[in-house]
C-alpha cells in the first residue's frame, strides 16, 4: 500500500522556521510501525531526518510524538491504525509544550526537571532490616499502576494545562509521586504532597483526561492524579489496586513457568 | 573541545553503569556518560526476574545457583565468579528492595520468587523458585529504581553524550572522548578510573530482541585501543522472537503449555528433545527451529514456525500427556498480558485464537571485555590487570555465563559486578593519580568523525548494515560450519573496506547528527562482527551457543578454555587462550 508521510521538520542549522515535508512511501505493510516509516525515510530518502528511538517495542519511552494530532509512541503506532484503504496519509510532529531542537526531537530537560522536583525516589531513613522490608500483597497492589511509567512524556505533553503553563509539574511527575506516596514502605509522602500542593502542583490539573488517553502503558493517569489531589486535602485515600492483582486467580502453575 | 575532570567516569547508564555510579559517587567525584537518557537503557526490557537463592518460597542455597550457572554455561564458566554471583545475588536483591524496588510479594509479604529455565534444587533434581520478580517488568523496575537512587544521591549525568574513544597515554587509560549529541562538540573526560557498562551488540544480526542502540560501542572503543575481547564466539539466540521483529516472547509461553509447530503441523520438538520437548534449553530449541526451516518445514516455506498457546492445542497435548490441567482464555489473559499485547499490537494476531509466528532472535552476548572478579579489565592470558579500567554487565566477560547464559543471570550479573566495580573504583581512585592527558587527545577520533560527517560515497549505512546482518545471520548464527564462517570473515572484511571508502552520509550538521552517529555505530558493529566470526571459526568444537555442523561434539581436551581476540597494529586479529577457572564442578555432559 501507499502512504504519504507528512513530517514536521526543522533544522536549527539551516531553517528559519518549521515546515511540513511529504514523503510518498510504497510497498508499506499494514502492520508496519510509524517508526518503520520514519526509518525508511531516514535510511533511504533523507538521512537528515532526526528522531529519538531505541527499543522499538514500547518499553524505553524514547519515541513519543504527535501522530495525526495525538501523542503516541511511534513504535506502538501501526499504519493500519491510521490508513484503512490502499492509500492514505499519516502526519507526524514533535510533542507539544517542549522546545523543538531538531525535527522530532524536543528538549526533554524541562520534563526531567519536573520529574526531579517531586522527589521521585524511595525515602525511608530508618535502618533497613537484614532481609527485605515486608509489604503485604494488598499494600503492593495499590501503587502498581504508577510503576509502569516509562517517562516518555506522552501524558505531560498532551496536557493543555501544561501547554498553557510550563511550570506545572505535569501528569508524569504526579504519577511518579503517586508511586511513592502510596508505597507503604516510603516515609516521604507528606513532603511530596507539600510540593504538589504548591501553585505549580496537582491543582493545575483540570481533569481533561488527555493524559490517560495518551499513555502508551495504559496507566489511569487522571485517576492517579485524583488520588493525589484527595491525599493533598488530607483525606485518607486507598487507591484502586491494579487489575493485574484483581484478576481471578486461576491456579499457581503459571507462576512457576520459566520466563 | 571542552575538558572535564572526574575521579571516575562511567560509560553507559543501564543497570551495571547505574549500580557502579551509585557506589562510586559515594566516595569519589563521578560522572556518568550515556548516549541515551538513562531510563531508555535496555536493562528496562528485561522481563522475567532476577535469580537469588533467598529461599522465600522453598529451601534454596546459593551453591545450587552456582552449580546451575556453571552447568548452564556448558562448563566454560569461571567457577569462582559463578560462586560470587550466586552468593552476592542475595544481598544485592535485598539492597534493591531497600532502594524501594517494588517486587511482587508472597502472602507473608516477602519478595515473591518463581521458577525459571535451568534453575534447580540440589544440582538438577527439580525446578526451584529462585527468580525474584516484579510482574513481567523486572528489568524496568531495576532500571527505574537505580536511576531514582542516582537522582537522590545527586550523581552527575551527561545524558546524550556518545563516547567515541578511550584515551590511552603510555599504555595507561587517561579518559574518554565523547560527543555531546545536542551540539556535536567533543568533550574530554579526564579520569583516574573508567568503567564501561555499555551493553550488548545484538544489531550485528538481522533478527534481534535488542534495541536499535545496542551496537557494542564500548567494546569497539576498547578493542581499537588494544583491549582483547573474550569468548566472542558465544552469542545467545533466544528461540522465540516475534517473526520479522525479533521482539522477545518469553519462555513462559512454553512453560504454560505452548508448543512449537512447523509448517506441516507437526510438534517437531519431540524429535529433538524427546523428554522435555519444547522446554529444552535455549540453544537446543533455537537449533531445532533453524533445522526445521532449513529443511523447508517453515510455515508456508517461510523462515518461521508457529508458537501455539491456543487453549485448543494446549489442552489437546495436555490430555495426550495424561495431565489433568487445562487452560482457557482467562488463564492466558491473566498470565501473559504483555505477550498478548505485543502480538495484538504488532501482528494483529490474537494468541488466544491463533498461533504466533516466531523465529529465533539474537539476544545476549556471553563474551566481551575480559574482567576479573573485581570488575577490573584484564588484558592477556595471564589475567594482567589494566589498572584504572573496569567493565560490568553485558559488555563484560567475567565469565559467569560461559558458553550459554542462564535466564535471570543477566540481571544478577549487572547488579553484582556493577556494585563491585563501583566499590573498587573508590578504593582505586583514593590511591591513584591521574594519568596525564596526551597532547591533542581528540585528534585521532576527530579525523574519523569528520570523515563520516562528510562521507560522500555511494553506499548507504542502512544497506551496509543489512548486508552485515545477513552475512552474520547466515554464517555465524545459530548453526555454523567452517566454510560458512570463513565466508563471513571474508565478507565482513569486504564490507569494512566499503565502510572505509564508499560511505554516503546526508547530514553535514553538528546538532543531533544521528545520521553520522548511526554510521559510527555501524563501525562498532562491523568490528564486533569480524571478531565474532574470527573467534568462532577458530573454535573447532560445539559448546553452548556455538554449534558447528563440522564439529558436533564438545571437546574438553582441546577447548575447555576462553578465547581472547587481539587487534594487531596491521588490523589483523589474533587469538590467544586462557584456562577456565574450575573450583569444584568437574565438567560433564550437559543433560537436562
Query: Cell digits for B377?
Result: 579489565
**Residue-level pLDDT at B223:** 98
User: Of the candidates A76, A112, A134, which has its C-beta nearest B110's C-beta?
Assistant: A134
Residue of A nearest to B213 (CA): A54
Query: Cell digits for A136?
Result: 503485604
Q: What is the mean pLDDT of each run of 10 residues along chain B (592 residues)?
A: 97 98 97 98 91 97 97 96 98 98 95 86 89 90 98 97 98 98 98 98 97 98 98 96 91 83 96 82 88 94 95 94 86 75 89 95 98 98 98 98 94 98 98 97 97 98 98 96 98 98 98 98 98 98 96 97 97 97 93 69
B460 touches chain A (CB under 8 A): yes
**Known catalytic residue: B282?**
yes
Residues pairing with B169 in the sheet: B172
Contact status, residue B137 vs residue B339, Cβ threshold 8 Å: no
Which residues in chain A (138-197) have CB-CB distances under 8 A to chain B? 140, 143-144, 147-151, 179-180, 183, 185-186
The answer to whether B211 contacts A258, with C-beta atoms less than 8 Å apart, is no
The answer to whether B255 contacts A151, with C-beta atoms less than 8 Å apart, is no
Taking 50 as the threshold, does the pLDDT of residue A253 lie above it?
no
The answer to whether B141 contacts A147, with C-beta atoms less than 8 Å apart, is yes
Contact status, residue B141 vs residue B32, Cβ threshold 8 Å: no
Residues pairing with B211 in the sheet: none
Which residues in chain A (98-117) have CB-CB distances under 8 A to chain B? 101-102, 105, 108, 112, 116
A154-184 in b/e form (b: 16+ CB < 10 A) is bbbbbbebbeeebebbbbbbbbbbbbbbbbe
Rounded CA separation B314/B355 (Å): 11
What pTM value is reported for the model? 0.95
Residue of A nearest to B249 (CA): A259
Question: Under CATH, what is the fold of the domain A2-106?
Answer: Ubiquitin-like (UB roll) (3.10.20)
Whose CA is closest to B174, among B185, B165, B163, B184? Answer: B165
Whole-complex ipTM? 0.95
Taking 80 as the threshold, does the pLDDT of residue A252 lie above it?
no
Q: Which residues from chain A sit within 8 angstroms of residue B334, using beta carbons?
A: 247-248, 250, 254
User: Of the candidates A112, A132, A150, which has its C-beta nearest B97's C-beta?
Assistant: A132
Residue of B nearest to A75 (CA): B346
The answer to whether A122 contacts B345, with C-beta atoms less than 8 Å apart, is no
- Cis-peptide, bond into residue B153, ω within 30° of zero: no
Rounded CA separation A65/B544 (Å): 42
Average pLDDT, chain A: 94
Tell the CATH superfamily of the A109-245 domain: Alpha-helical ferredoxin (1.10.1060.10)
B487-521 in b/e form (b: 16+ CB < 10 A) is bbbebbeebbebbeeebbbbbbbbbbbbbbbbbbb
Count the neighbouring beta carbons within 10 Å of the beta carbon of residue B483: 12
Quick check: helix, strand or coil at residue A3? strand
Q: Which residues from chain A sit within 8 angstroms of residue B507, using beta carbons?
A: 47-48, 50
Q: Determine the Cα angle at B25 with ends B24 and B27, to 5°.
A: 75
The answer to whether A254 contacts B255, with C-beta atoms less than 8 Å apart, is yes
**Residue-level pLDDT at A250:** 39
pLDDT band at A259; cut points 50, 70, 90: very low
Domains of chain A by residue range: 2-106, 109-245
Rounded CA separation B68/B71 (Å): 5
**Residue-level pLDDT at B443:** 95
Amino acid at each position: 500500500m501507499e502512504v504519504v508521510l507528512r513530517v514536521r521538520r526543522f533544522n536549527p542549522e539551516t531553517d528559519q522556521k518549521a515546515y511540513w515535508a511529504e514523503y510518498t512511501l510504497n510497498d508499506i505493510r499494514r502492520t508496519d510501525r510509524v517508526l518503520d516509516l520514519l526509518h525508511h525515510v531516514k535510511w533511504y530518502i533523507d538521512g537528515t531526518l532526526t528522531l529519538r528511538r531505541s527499543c522499538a517495542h514500547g518499553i524505553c519511552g524514547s519515541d513519543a510524538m504527535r501522530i495525526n494530532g495525538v501523542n503516541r509512541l511511534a513504535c506502538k503506532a501501526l499504519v493500519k491504525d491510521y490508513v484503512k484503504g490502499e492509500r492514505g496519509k499519516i502526519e507526524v510532529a514533535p510533542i507539544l509544550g517542549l522546545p523543538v531542537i531538531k525535527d522530532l526531537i524536543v528538549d526533554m530537560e524541562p520534563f526531567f526537571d519536573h520529574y526531579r522536583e517531586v522527589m521521585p525516589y524511595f525515602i525511608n531513613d530508618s535502618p533497613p532490616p537484614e532481609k527485605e522490608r515486608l509489604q503485604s500483597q494488598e499494600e503492593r497492589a495499590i501503587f502498581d499502576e504508577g510503576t509502569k511509567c516509562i517517562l516518555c512524556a506522552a501524558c505531560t505533553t498532551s496536557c493543555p494545562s501544561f501547554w498553557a503553563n510550563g511550570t506545572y509539574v505535569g501528569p508524569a511527575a504526579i504519577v511518579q509521586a503517586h508511586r511513592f506516596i502510596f508505597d507503604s514502605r516510603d516515609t516521604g509522602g507528606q513532603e511530596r504532597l507539600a510540593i504538589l500542593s504548591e501553585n505549580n502542583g496537582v491543582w493545575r490539573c483540570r481533569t481533561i483526561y488527555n493524559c490517560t488517553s495518551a499513555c502508551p502503558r495504559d496507566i489511569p493517569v487522571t485517576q492517579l492524579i485524583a488520588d493525589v489531589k484527595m491525599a493533598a486535602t488530607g483525606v485518607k485515600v486507598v487507591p484502586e489496586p491494579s487489575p493485574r492483582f484483581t484478576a481471578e486467580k486461576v491456579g499457581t502453575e503459571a507462576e512457576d513457568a520459566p520466563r | 573541545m571542552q575538558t572535564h575532570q572526574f575521579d571516575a567516569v562511567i560509560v553507559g547508564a543501564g543497570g551495571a553503569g547505574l549500580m557502579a555510579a551509585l557506589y562510586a559517587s559515594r566516595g569519589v567525584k563521578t560522572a556518568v556518560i550515556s548516549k541515551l537518557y538513562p531510563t531508555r537503557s535496555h536493562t528496562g526490557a528485561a522481563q522475567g526476574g532476577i535469580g537469588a537463592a533467598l529461599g522465600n518460597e522453598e529451601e534454596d542455597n546459593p551453591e545450587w545457583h552456582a552449580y546451575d550457572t556453571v552447568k548452564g554455561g556448558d562448563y566454560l564458566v569461571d567457577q569462582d565468579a559463578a560462586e560470587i554471583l550466586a552468593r552476592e545475588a542475595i544481598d544485592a536483591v535485598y539492597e534493591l528492595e531497600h532502594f524501594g524496588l517494588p517486587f511482587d510479594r508472597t502472602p507473608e509479604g516477602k519478595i515473591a520468587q518463581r521458577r525459571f529455565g535451568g534453575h534447580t534444587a540440589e544440582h538438577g533434581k527439580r525446578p526451584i523458585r529462585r527468580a525474584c520478580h516484579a510482574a513481567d517488568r523486572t528489568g524496568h523496575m531495576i532500571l527505574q529504581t537505580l536511576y531514582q537512587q542516582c537522582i537522590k544521591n545527586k550523581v552527575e549525568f551527561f545524558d546524550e553524550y556518545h563516547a567515541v574513544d578511550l584515551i590511552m597515554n603510555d599504555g595507561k587509560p587517561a579518559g574518554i572522548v565523547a560527543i555531546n549529541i545536542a551540539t556535536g562538540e567533543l568533550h574530554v573526560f579526564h579520569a583516574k578510573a573508567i568503567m564501561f557498562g555499555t551493553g550488548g551488540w545484538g544489531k550485528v544480526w538481522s533478527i534481534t530482541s535488542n534495541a536499535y542502540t545496542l551496537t557494542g560501542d564500548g567494546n569497539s572503543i576498547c578493542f581499537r585501543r588494544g583491549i582483547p575481547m573474550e569468548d566472542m564466539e558465544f552469542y545467545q539466540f533466544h528461540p522465540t522472537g516475534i517473526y520479522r521483529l525479533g521482539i522477545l516472547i518469553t519462555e513462559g509461553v512454553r512453560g504454560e503449555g505452548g508448543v512449537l509447530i512447523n509448517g506441516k503441523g507437526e510438534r517437531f520438538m519431540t524429535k529433538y528433545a524427546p523428554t522435555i520437548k519444547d522446554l529444552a534449553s535455549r540453544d537446543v530449541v533455537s537449533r531445532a527451529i533453524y533445522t526445521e526451516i532449513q529443511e523447508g518445514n517453515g510455515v508456508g516455506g517461510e523462515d518461521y514456525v508457529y508458537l501455539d498457546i491456543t487453549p485448543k492445542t494446549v489442552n489437546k497435548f495436555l490430555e495426550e500427556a495424561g495431565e489433568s490441567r487445562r487452560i482457557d482464555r482467562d488463564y492466558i489473559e491473566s498470565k501473559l498480558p504483555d505477550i498478548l499485547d505485543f502480538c495484538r499490537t504488532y501482528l494483529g494476531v490474537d494468541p488466544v485464537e491463533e498461533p504466533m509466528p516466531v523465529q529465533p532472535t539474537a539476544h545476549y552476548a556471553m563474551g566481551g571485555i575480559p574482567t576479573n572478579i573485581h570488575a577490573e579489565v584484564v588484558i592477556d592470558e595471564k589475567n594482567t590487570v589494566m589498572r584504572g579500567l573496569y567493565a560490568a554487565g553485558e559488555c563484560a566477560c567475567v565469565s559467569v555465563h560461559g558458553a550459554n547464559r542462564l535466564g535471570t543471570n543477566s540481571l544478577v550479573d549487572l547488579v553484582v559486578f556493577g556494585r563491585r566495580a563501583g566499590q573498587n573504583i573508590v578504593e582505586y581512585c583514593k590511591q591513584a593519580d591521574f594519568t596525564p592527558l596526551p597532547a591533542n587527545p581528540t585528534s585521532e577520533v576527530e579525523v574519523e568523525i569528520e570523515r563520516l560527517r562528510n562521507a560522500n560515497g555511494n553506499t548507504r549505512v542502512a544497506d551496509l548494515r543489512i548486508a552485515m546482518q545477513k552475512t552474520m545471520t547466515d554464517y555465524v548464527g545459530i548453526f555454523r560450519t567452517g566454510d560458512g564462517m570463513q565466508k563471513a570473515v571474508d565478507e565482513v572484511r569486504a564490507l569494512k573496506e566499503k565502510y572505509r571508502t564508499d560511505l554516503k552520509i546526508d547530514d553535514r550538521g553538528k546538532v543531533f547528527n544521528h545520521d553520522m552517529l548511526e554510521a559510527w555505530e555501524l563501525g562498532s558493529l562491523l568490528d564486533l562482527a569480524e571478531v565474532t566470526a574470527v573467534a568462532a571459526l577458530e573454535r573447532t568444537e560445539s559448546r553452548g551457543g556455538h554449534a558447528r555442523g563440522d564439529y558436533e561434539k564438545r571437546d574438553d581436551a582441546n577447548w575447555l578454555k576462553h578465547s581472547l581476540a587481539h587487534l594487531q597494529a596491521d588490523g589483523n586479529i589474533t587469538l590467544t587462550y586462557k584456562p577456565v577457572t574450575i573450583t569444584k564442578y568437574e565438567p560433564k555432559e550437559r543433560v537436562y
